Structure 1
Amino acid sequence: MQSFENEFEPTIRCIDVSGADQIRGDHAMQGLSAAKWSYVTRGVTDRGRTRLGGFAAQPRLGDLVVSSVKHVGEHESLENSHGRRARLYPGDIVVGACGNRYATEFYEGYLPRGTAAHLLTAGGVVGVVASAHARRGPPTELSVIGPLTDPAGAAISLEKLSLRAPPPARTPPATVVVVGSSMSAGKTTTAASLVNGWTRAGLTAAAGKVTGSGSGKDRWMYEDAGASAVVDFLDFGMPSTFGYPVERLRATMISIRDELARRGSDAVVLELADGLLQADTAALLAFLPGFADAVVLAVRDALSAVAGVRILHDLGAPVRAISGLVTASPLASREAVAATGLDVLSPAALVNGAAVELLSPGEAVSA
């Protein structure tokens, strides 16, 4: 992993507005209409009423900020609320949200403490990179100009734009939770395949992303698969879930399920980001017994399947099947079946009937 800690010192930097005043003056006349608004700002429905405020306090998780692009790095484009990637250039003004990021194959990043910041995700999460995977280049550098405010000068936070917690579902829909052994194990593809399989069977299927970092990529995959509704952590006020208390994440998981139930879903798939050993994911696993009707584990190989099934079984989670990148190899799939006793279901199998079969009562099989 590359380390950027010595250069940026994200946890101790203090706000320094020298230089920011010049940036503010350069762009005051053009206003925010020319800014590139990122995916995480999709809850701002009336951009014309927003203002650029002055620094009054350290930013908090979820605060919306206006920044100038100093140098284009790994993230060469910004994803907007419609999924379009807008090419970035030095001097561009972007609107994003302060947050953290935990991505073992990308960046580890934290809340910015000064005007120097980085683009942590293409979806617009703004923070400071602490470490990076060896395959990743230097981050796109930003200079925070100031907070986004309402006409009265009050800072706008995703907390103010979030959905209200829905009433508890009287009859919760069938709920399948997809977890993974690691990042990029095939979780979203698995979740989308479940949605498509249920939709083909005539069910009203919906999807939710419980944890992760702000980006529209997963939402579009769910919608393309036929999801009648999609709700994620961003709808409940978090640009990225890393760094929030587990109690908040648990409440959000329940609220996402209940909101999808309120919208008339017959079957719901909820995806947890990252791997089973990530702290937030590991904490949420303990709540799956009694909450999830079935758990599907996405893995890259048979050994990960064995370890993952054992972790889930020890917690009492109703793990019913294995999927993910392991299904690309017939040999690896057979190894996983032999070692765990669970079915290994490819995306095609889920689409063509296996997704519906997972909704029927069944016993979890331990390794």
Structure 2
Amino acid sequence: MRGLASAKWCYVTRRVATRQRYTLGAFATPPRTGDLVVARVSVVGGRGCLEDVFGRRGKLYPGDLVVGACGNRYATDVYEGRHEPDQVAQLLTSGGVIGTVVSRNSRSVPPTELQILGPLIDENQRPVSLEQFAEPCFPVQESVEQAPPCGALAVVGSSMNSGKTTTAAGLVKGWTGAGLVVGAAKVTGSGSGKDRWAYLDAGASHVLDFLDFGMPSTFGYPAERLATTMVAMRDGLVREGAEAIVLEIADGVLQPDTWTLVSELPRVCEGVVLAVGDALAARAGADLLRSRGVRVVALSGLVAESPLAAREAAAVTGLPVVSAGQLACGTAVQLLASRTAS
């Protein structure tokens, strides 16, 4: 055993309390998704940084010890990564998701290479998992659903980096400016602190994400687990006092996890703001969502940055196009007020 006083604890470990209780152990069985492991940095790659438990990005150096979580990643602009215990390990996110890169975007740089030293273990020599620190979650059919007093909207995108988080933050800012107590949730994605801070910076009083429910990233988890967690997030925010809620779903509509959750949206929220980059994505995305019974209330994201592109998108979908700035200045309240309209 060895101490971890000098180790850098990644963002995905933010719910792990009393870190002094834990040490480096030896593997008795291969680690599972969500298990915490200790690794040494072999080669610094990626962005060369690591998010700590507060979301601060610090510089990485060869030889650094890090504590992260085994997991997967689905990121079309960066890496596709899988938890493969017998393979070379890499840092899949700066937040500390550790796995093996199986494909990467040609424009991305190679990831940080890691040497896995062993599992994080407790005083009883048992491996430590994020599941041990998770919020309680009940099967959907057993949950007591709690709709927020002023309603909930989801933000879904056509792809990665289409403007979803900026759109969600715009909704939060607009509702907060109107005097509402706002809750925000990142339903799916890969462990990182930037989206959580975006919600808080915009004024959210209560924030939840998949890390709060024991998942370092959501790619690869069963569909039922993800659906259950989405409902639990909404209900949890209501219990904490949120009057209006935004639920952000990562990646694009065609990402398998996102597409699975789309069918659940009509029973979880009143409508969707679709973040897209152009008119073609707007038309296809709106049609796909409507085919699953989802009410699309507006378009936003990158398309709203160009007046010409916005007019194209509005013309082919019949939907209003609103920028994050417009949402923050009052349009968000209008969308919420009209959520029950046909």
- The TM-score normalised by the length of structure 1 is 0.89
Secondary structure, aligned partner of 2:242: coil
Q: Is 1:348 paired with 2:320? A: no
Q: How many residues align?
A: 337
TM-aligned CA distance change 1:180 to 1:170, over 3 Å: closer
Q: 1:170: Cα distance to partner?
A: 4.1
Q: Distance in 1 between matches of 2:11 and 2:144?
A: 29
Q: Deviations over 1:226-273 (max 9, x none)?
A: 000110001000000000000000000000001100100000000000
Q: Distance in 2 between matches of 1:139 and 1:171?
A: 42
Secondary structure, aligned partner of 1:152: coil
Where does residue 144 of structure 2 map in the other structure?
168
Q: 1:359: Cα distance to partner?
A: 1.3
Q: Distance in 2 between matches of 1:268 and 1:76?
A: 34
Q: Distance in 1 between matches of 2:86 and 2:68?
A: 15
Q: Distance in 1 between matches of 2:118 and 2:58?
A: 22
TM-aligned CA distance change 1:170 to 1:190, over 3 Å: closer
Query: How do 1:227-246 residues align onto structure 2 when only pairs under 5 Å count?
Result: 227-246=204-223
* Equivalent position to 1:87, from 59, 76, 92: 59
Secondary structure, aligned partner of 1:355: helix
Contact 2:146 2:234 (8 Å CA) reproduced: no
* Equivalent position to 1:118, from 90, 106, 109: 90
Query: How do 1:195-206 residues align onto structure 2 when only pairs under 5 Å count?
Result: 195-206=172-183
Q: Distance in 2 between matches of 1:112 and 1:75?
A: 23
Q: Distance in 2 between matches of 1:225 and 1:141?
A: 35
* Equivalent position to 1:298, from 275, 293, 296: 275
TM-aligned CA distance change 1:115 to 1:69, over 3 Å: farther
TM-aligned CA distance change 1:149 to 1:115, over 3 Å: farther
Q: 1:169: Cα distance to partner?
A: 4.1
Contact 1:294 1:358 (8 Å CA) reproduced: no
Contact 1:67 1:95 (8 Å CA) reproduced: yes
Contact 2:270 2:340 (8 Å CA) reproduced: no
Contact 2:155 2:248 (8 Å CA) reproduced: yes
Gaps of 5+ in 2: none
Tell which deviates more after alignment, 65-74 or 172-181.
Answer: 172-181
Contact 1:105 1:133 (8 Å CA) reproduced: yes
TM-aligned CA distance change 1:65 to 1:311, over 3 Å: same
Gaps of 5+ in 1: 1-23
TM-aligned CA distance change 1:170 to 1:113, over 3 Å: closer
Identity %: 57
Secondary structure, aligned partner of 1:249: helix
Where does residue 38 of structure 2 map in the other structure?
66
CA RMSD of aligned residues (A): 1.4
* Equivalent position to 2:187, from 207, 210, 223: 210
Q: Is 1:253 paired with 2:230? A: yes
TM-aligned CA distance change 1:54 to 1:265, over 3 Å: same
Where does residue 264 of structure 2 map in the other structure?
287
TM-aligned CA distance change 1:187 to 1:171, over 3 Å: closer
| Structure label with greater radius of gyration | 1
Q: Distance in 2 between matches of 1:298 and 1:142?
A: 35
Contact 2:146 2:235 (8 Å CA) reproduced: no
